[in-house]
Amino acid sequence: MTKIFKKKNKVLFVSKADHIQERGSYSVILSPEFYWIKKVKLPVKKEKDALKLAPSTFEGNLPAGDFSFAVRKVEDAFIMIAYNKKQIAQELEKVLPYKSDIAQIFFAQDALGSITACTAINDKAALSNLDGIIIQVPRACTDTANTLDDILPQADVAKHAVKLGSFDNVLLSSQDLILAGVLFGLLFVALLGEYIVYKSAVHQLDERKMAVIKEYNLPRTSMQLKSIKKSLLKKFEAQKKLRDLLFALSNVRLEKGEYIESIEATPKETTLLLHVASKERASAIQKMFPKDMKIKDAKFQDLTMTIKIAS
């Protein structure tokens, strides 16, 4: 049974099994069935920085599709929400046939985040707060007198509205929706059981991982690894070009009294100063360098030959 309370818009909690016939203007609260959620700790402090990392935190946990992400900061952690706008729009078409009746849309995590005890949705399901995450569980797993009647009047529908865009999407067939719903429900219940059982062990592993990262000063994300790789490749190329120049110099035959005065390398060029016997010798030495070594400039003054080679 779906519960309705009257404010400026009627606050309406919906699950995928609901079918609302009454017309009106609704602030719709989506049950956790409509999105994926997790709580993580990240090496960033702001929500906008955590949002950039959201896709990688769900990597391997989402089905195929075009997902959007939302982030909420909670103390020293972040709650990550992944949702498929098109899929939600398709499901809402079944629940509320008239999209003009939907004034706003909210996640249960945002609107009903104040829940502290198990709260019955109907005779089959309930909402529960698991470490700050609002989840939906089978009613058979709970024993509670709390219902949505008690909490919907205090629902927070003032912020974090979800923008889905147009609802004009091609709907799946009823048979496909029912099959997908059954499979998803079975999978959700199974995964929920495993999540509760292994939550403590996973938390301990995360703490050990962070300790190892801190002890050995390891990068925390794939973005950091790519940045380090790019920096090392750049250094390698610069060092390789310098080694090639030194190898070329080893093949330059200097005569008695001739010598290298200095070598100065920058990211853009290498400057080489040679003390040579004459201008003719300077010209001969220049020809000894490999042709693939790009000489930007060569000068001779007071027995000093200055060569600038592109890095």
CATH code of the domain covering residue 294: 3.30.1360.100
Are 81 and 166 contained in the same domain? Answer: yes
- Within-domain flag for 36: yes
- By the 8 A CB rule, do 13 and 55 touch? no
Amino acid at 202: V
Residue 223 within a domain:
no
Q: How many domains does the chain have?
A: 2
Average pLDDT over residues 76-83: 93
Listed residue (183, 144, 164) closest to 67, CA to CA: 164
Higher pLDDT: 69 or 183? It is: 69
Are residue 26 and residue 124 in the same domain, yes or no? yes
Q: Please, are residues 14 and 27 in contact by the beta-carbon 8 Å criterion?
A: no
Evaluate whether residue 228 is within a structural domain. Answer: no
Average pLDDT over residues 180-202: 74
Asked whether the predicted pLDDT for residue 83 surpasses 90, the reply is yes
Q: Is the pLDDT of residue 36 over 90?
A: yes
Q: Provide the pLDDT for residue 167.
A: 45
Using an 8 Å Cβ cutoff, are 51 and 69 in contact? yes
Q: Which of 9-23, 52-66, 110-124 has the lowest mean pLDDT?
A: 110-124
Give the end of a domain, one of 171, 199, 214: 171
- Residue 212 forms part of a structural domain: no
At residue 268, the pLDDT reads 80
3-state SS, residue 277: coil
Same domain, 60 and 141: yes
Residue 272 domain-assigned? yes
Q: What is the pLDDT of residue 79?
A: 93
Q: Is the pLDDT of residue 5 over 60?
A: no
Are 33 and 182 a contacting pair, CB within 8 Å?
Answer: no
- Residue 8: inside a domain, yes or no? yes
Q: 141 lies in a domain?
A: yes
Note whether 160 and 239 are same-domain residues: no
Can you list the positions of beta strands (E) in the chain? 4-6, 10-14, 26-30, 36-40, 68-74, 77-83, 102-107, 119-120, 125-130, 133-138, 259-265, 269-275, 295-301, 304-310
pLDDT, the chain, mean: 80
Same domain? For 166 and 241 the reply is no
Residue with the bigger pLDDT between 121 and 109: it is 109
For residue 178, being part of any structural domain is answered with no
Range of the domain at 109: 4-171
What is the pTM (predicted TM-score) of this model?
0.49
